[in-house]
Amino acid sequence: MGISMSLVQSLGFTGIKSLTADHVFDKYFPINEIKTFEEFHKNFLKFCSDFNSVMLGKHYKPPSNEEIEACYKQWSDLKGSGEKELERKKQLVLDLLTRNVKEIKSGDTIVMTGLVVPPALMVLKKSSQNVPQLKRFRINLVPDIVFVPTLTVAALFTVKALQLNLGSKTK
């Protein structure tokens, strides 16, 4: 419960009851203030950025400018009574958001790397005294308190960079 409350508060909402589609919509897509495509585009990207910075697991991948512009054209063409128009505009934005949500699946690899690398580094350090190819690197002179955390963090950064690199090539 504490994590969800802090995530909600980091988006600028005071409590869990205020996190409804209406409040999110009113904060990022105020109907009377959005008059041009540039304002709509800026608010849409701001929402995606804010949401991605606080939520775990699912992230919004901003769609192409053409998709956002098509949504804005439908948005600006909607005319009608206040409540019906508001609901249709909300539905347009929600449809655009749901089409562009993607699941981030990086937790397993990073956790496994964090669990496997430190013991492997200790085995490497112990065996470096007996293996001639490793003996010349003098790994045994580096204190454990420096060697293990430094190389573990380097391994975690490498895994994350590989995931980001491979993830961008698949889409």
Residue 170's pLDDT band (boundaries 50, 70, 90)? very low
AA letter at 37: F
Q: Are the C-beta atoms of 164 and 122 separated by less than 8 Å?
A: no
Residues 103-154: pLDDT tens digits?
655 567 888 898 999 999 999 999 988 998 888 889 989 999 999 999 999 9
Structure-block tokens of residue 25: 């919509």
Residue that wins the pLDDT comparison between 112 and 13 = 112
3-state secondary structure the chain: CHHHHHHHHHCCCCCHHHCCHHHHHHHHCCCCCCCCHHHHHHHHHHHHHHHHHHCCCEEECCCCHHHHHHHHHHHHHCCCCHHHHHHHHHHHHHHHHHHCEEECCCHHHHHHHHHHHHHHHHHHHHHCCCCHHHHCCCHHHCCHHHHHHHHHHHHHHHHHHHHHHHHHHHC
Q: Are the C-beta atoms of 137 and 128 separated by less than 8 Å?
A: yes
Q: What are phi and psi of 158, to 5 degrees?
A: -65, -45
Residues 69-83: pLDDT tens digits?
888 888 888 776 677
